[in-house]
Amino acid sequence: MNIFSQFFNRRASPRQLEWLVWGTIALVNFFSYLPMDGLLQSFIYTILNTLVYAAIIYGNINFLFPWLYRKGRIGWYILASILLLAVIGVLKTWIGQLIYNTWFATKEHYALTWKNTLYVTIGCAVVFILSFVFRIALAYFVLKQQTQQIQEQKSLVELNLLKSQVQPHFLFNTLNNIYYEAFREAPRTALLIGRLSEIMRYFVDESPKEKVALSTEIQFLENYIALEKIRIRHGVEVNFIKEGASDPLIPPMLLITFVENIFKHGIDRSGAHNKICLSLALKDDHLIFETENELPETPVAAFPQGFGLKNLQKRLTLLYGNKAELRTYRSDRSFHSYLKIPLL
């Protein structure tokens, strides 16, 4: 197996592929100069050309294109591109002739002429056009890597879920039987058993899916809140506002992280004045989920702790790129979170 197959079989990152491309470009330049210019001169001009190509390509795809073209400033984009090519063309011609006249000229010294400059600038323009191909290829590999990461994450979740399933349907049937027995003597306890059964069924049947109905996710949250409330000595006031008549599909378990953090870090389990506000709205093809909770006078830990929100941010990046918005902040006596995701 050759080096290239080994390189690709280990799933090289987009950054590694960039280095591979630039290494290939440098080698092509070097061996094209070598027959005429010798080892040292070929090496110096290879470095010069590679730096010029990089300045043109990254100047376009990282600055001019996103800052001007994407914002609709087409005229400014054209003018800035022409200026970039003119400046780099003049600098490359001048530096190249300076290097030649200083170290490699024998009899004749080359002078800086407009013809030489125009020739070099045209070559720079060709590289500028190829920068779009470079950008598309780079975006493709980034998208491919993100897709692989999502697939691997999904496979890992499914594998862990399978490992944790010990006759789940037997367990559900048993819980249902206990529910009916308990309902005769303690209806409230039976209701909690029913909620626990629904949560476990959600983990087994719904969480492995790519998307679930929003109503299913809301029911999961309400069941979780109901079970958490029984652990609070004096109870907790929960105000859950829902706006929007539709029932779109969303990735499972995106919202539970905020609610879990509240009960883990933002509740005084021995206090009598716990209050949680949840708001879920569908606006302009987006889902907006906000939470607010009063902070205990003596926090259990610095809120929030753990990797829940960090992992959620990574998951949002994999799912939506930069189209999702996640913010958290705290005021004097409360903690706030805000999530906005597209529904299309």
Using one digit for the tens of pLDDT, what is the confidence trace for 257-283?
A: 899 888 887 777 766 778 899 999 999
| Angular region, 288: left φ>0, alpha ψ -120 to 50, beta rest | beta
Question: Mind listing the pLDDT tens digit for each residue in 86-118?
Answer: 999 999 999 998 898 888 887 666 677 888 888
Amino acid at the residue 173 = N
Return mean pLDDT, the chain. Answer: 83
Instruction: Supply the pLDDT for residue 160.
Output: 63
The closest alpha carbon to 152, from 11, 16, 18, 249, belongs to: 11
Instruction: Supply the pLDDT for residue 304.
Output: 47
Instruction: Supply the pLDDT for residue 248.
Output: 93
Instruction: Supply the pLDDT for residue 299.
Output: 56
C-alpha distances (whole Å) from 114 to each of 47, 94, 111, 125, 278 are 24, 11, 10, 16, 68
Say how far apart CA 310 and CA 316 lie, in whole Å: 10
Instruction: Spell out the residues 6+ positions from residue 341 whose beta carbon is closer than 8 angstroms to its own.
Output: 250, 254, 286, 287, 316, 319, 320, 323, 324, 325
Instruction: Supply the pLDDT for residue 7.
Output: 47
Domain 211-342 architecture? 2-Layer Sandwich (3.30)
Those residues of the chain that have pLDDT short of 50 are 1-9, 166, 301-305
Instruction: Supply the pLDDT for residue 108.
Output: 66
Say how far apart CA 131 and CA 66 lie, in whole Å: 13
Instruction: Supply the pLDDT for residue 11.
Output: 61
